[in-house]
Amino acid sequence: MTINQISVFLENKPGTLSGLTETLAENNINMRAMSLADTSDFGIARIIADNADETAALLRKNEYVVKVTPVLALEIPDEAGSLNRILKLLGTKGCNVEYMYGFTGRKTNSAYMIMRATNVSEAEKMLENSGIHLVGTIELEKV
């Protein structure tokens, strides 16, 4: 099961990121996770929000350049080696991870990883067949 991630392209200058978060806050949009990557000229904010489609539409209305991408959300034990086991599994099956970022939820002993793989549907099947718990949008709202 995949979830939708919102990628927002931002100019790399002071105040741009706070403008984005202000737009989200003013519209009562709660971010579950966020990752920021940059170059000298622009940045990409990758966001997991409660309703990706509504959030993307709102951001487009506010003249942000937005892309919605399917990604995987994995629930893993919050202990040493958990992520390594998953990455080894994917690597031995020839699945490349393009990027990922993590966060912890309110649950105890759980961490969550947002992952974009070269072939999302193939990675999804591999992980599910290996007993890795993939988290859907509704479940992610509760972590």
CATH number at residue 34: 3.30.2130.10
Q: Which residues pair with 68 in a beta bridge?
A: 6
Give the separation between CA 45 and CA 6, rounded to whole angstroms.
Answer: 8
The domain boundary residue, chosen from 29, 51, 69: 69
Q: 136 pLDDT exceeds 80?
A: yes
Q: Could you report the per-residue pLDDT of 37-93, keeping only the tens digit for each?
A: 888 888 999 999 988 999 999 999 999 999 999 999 999 988 899 999 999 999 999
Please check whether residues 59 and 95 belong to one and the same domain: no
Q: Give me the number of domains the chain comprises.
A: 2
Element holding 27 (H helix, E strand): none
Q: 25 pLDDT exceeds 80?
A: yes
Can you give the residue range of the structural domain that contains 131?
71-142
Q: Is 83 left (phi over 0), alpha (psi -120 to 50) or beta?
A: alpha
DSSP tag of 14:
T
Q: How much of the chain, in percent, has pLDDT values that exceed 90? A: 59
The domain boundary residue, chosen from 46, 69, 92: 69
